[in-house]
């Protein structure tokens, strides 16, 4: 594959080996970011590539996302992969067990977000099981206002943490992150004892990058923004090419990959 001077060759990305524990963000990493959360387009080859990697790694593959679990399962049906969702607030482990953080008091932040939406219909509120996301992609001029209002609401709340991503403000239980979710996976089979790799595109992925690099693993930043990750690719297309290069037999691998995770 030809590369431009601005495009890191695939050879500079860490190899995915039989001893890898692979963690992947979803939006901006496996799929392009869309104008609305439900509008993402899932590439036709994605489920086959993920199913092939899952089998190749003996099940040591997990999604690590800000999405709800239902969203990931719907977009990737019939796959139901191990997943950390809502920025680590919930986690489905390799045995299919759902582990949730204690719920935080969302009353103040929900009231503040709904007040903003009444005044500014260009905003979008995404309610999750244990988290909340306020999207301002269609009203970027409201970024500062949204941050001020939501920070003030968090200060009036207990047990809540605020993170800013790409045109979104995420509210989640304090003490959980993508990094803590990856650390938890790495204590369990089949992830334990492997070298972790985590690929993501947003500032909310930086805690995961820090965790895997502290463990002696590799972090892959998707996109041009500043990062602590020591590896980088230009976008979703190059990330997918890297994954496909590790799964030559991925075509058709999702066939028969039903609602229950294979043993």
Q: Show the tokens assigned to 240.
A: 């997918």
Q: Given strand 83-85, what is the order of strands in its sheet? A: 98-100, 90-92, 83-85, 61-64, 20-24, 195-200, 218-222, 231-233
Asked whether the beta carbons of 134 and 169 are under 8 A apart, the reply is yes
Q: Show the tokens assigned to 206.
A: 């930086």
Annotate 70-104 with DSSP letters as a single string.
HHHHHHTTT----EEEGGGTEEE-TTS-EEEPPPP
Please report how many Cα atoms fall inside a 13 Å half-sphere around the Cα of residue 54, on the Cβ side.
Answer: 21
Active-site hit among 25, 27, 73, 201: 25
**Residue 27 annotated as catalytic:** no
Compute the distance between CA of residue 190 and CA of residue 194 in angstroms, rounded to an integer.
Answer: 8
As annotated, the active-site residues are 25
């Amino acid at each position: 594959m030809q590369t431009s001077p601005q495009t890191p060759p695939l050879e500079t990305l860490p190899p995915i080996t039989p001893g890898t524990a692979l963690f992947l963000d979803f939006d901006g990493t496996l799929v392009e970011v869309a104008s609305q959360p439900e509008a993402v387009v899932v590439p036709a080859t994605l489920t086959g590539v993920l199913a092939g990697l899952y089998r190749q790694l003996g099940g040591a593959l997990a999604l690590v996302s800000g999405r709800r679990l239902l969203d990931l399962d719907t977009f990737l049906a019939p796959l139901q992969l191990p997943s950390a969702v809502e920025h680590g607030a919930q986690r489905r482990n390799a045995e299919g067990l759902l582990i949730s953080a204690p719920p935080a008091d969302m009353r103040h932040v929900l009231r503040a977000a709904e007040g903003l939406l009444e005044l500014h219909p260009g905003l979008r509120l995404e309610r999750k099981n244990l988290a909340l996301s306020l999207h301002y992609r269609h009203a970027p001029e409201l970024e500062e206002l949204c941050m001020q209002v939501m920070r003030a609401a968090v200060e009036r709340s207990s047990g809540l943490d605020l993170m800013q991503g790409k045109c979104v403000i995420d509210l989640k239980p304090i003490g959980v992150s993508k990094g803590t979710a990856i650390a938890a996976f790495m204590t369990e089979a089949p992830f334990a004892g492997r070298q972790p790799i985590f690929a993501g595109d947003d500032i909310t992925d930086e805690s995961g990058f820090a965790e895997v690099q502290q463990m002696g693993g590799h972090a892959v930043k998707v996109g041009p923004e500043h990062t602590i990750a020591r590896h980088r690719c230009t976008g979703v297309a190059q990330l997918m090419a890297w994954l496909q290069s590790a799964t030559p037999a991925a075509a058709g691998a999702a066939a028969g990959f039903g609602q229950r995770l294979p043993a």
